[in-house]
Amino acid sequence: MTAATRARAATAAAALACALTLTACGNGDGDGGGDGGGPELTVTGAFIPEPATGDMAGGFLTVENAGDTDDALVAATSDIAGSVEIHETVDNAMRRVDSLPVPARGALHLSRGGNHLMFLDLTHQPAEGDTVSVELHFATSDPITLNVPVEAATHTGE
Ligand SMILES: [Cu+2]
């Protein structure tokens, strides 16, 4: 196979992948940017470590984006918390951010020592074995509602 042939084959494969993505996205309800494939989000590995006190709890998960368009996590809500903030960790200090990117063909990882959800003003202290309803809101995609398990305080998700 010559280099030129390989290049043509790669182009054809990419075009086919785009066509498949467009077909899949045609099932959506028409929100978002319109042209081309939008973001296609899947959330995996969500958990909340049992908090030491009833003041606040952290939340960890991965948002995968199989689509061709960037998205961003912009907010979260939960029935156990008066508010849920999006935090990043810099130099061992966490701070609130307005959003975190979910790149096209990539993923947003919320993990211990890094980005996370922060549940504040807890209505009750979640205990290991509980399930917490959490709704994630995105810049483009529809909200995703999760039933997040509460794990042992030492759980890392690995
Ligand atoms: Cu935090």
The fraction of the chain above a pLDDT of 70, given in percent, is 77
The CATH number that applies at residue 96 is 2.60.40.1890
Can you tell me the mean pLDDT for 106-132? Answer: 96
Taking the centre of ligand 1 as the mean of its atom positions, its distance from the CA of residue 72, in whole angstroms, is 18
Number of domains making up the chain: 1
133 within some domain = yes
Taking the centre of ligand 1 as the mean of its atom positions, its distance from the CA of residue 90, in whole angstroms, is 11
pLDDT, tens digit (0-9, with 9 covering 90-100), for 10-20 = 444 444 443 44
Which residues on neighbouring strands pair with residue 136, listed in sequence order? 76, 144
- pTM value is 0.76
30 within some domain = no
Residues in the 5 Å CB sphere of ion ligand 1: 87, 94, 118
* pLDDT score of 157: 84
CA distances (Å), 66 to each of 10, 69, 91, 100, in order? 19, 9, 31, 17
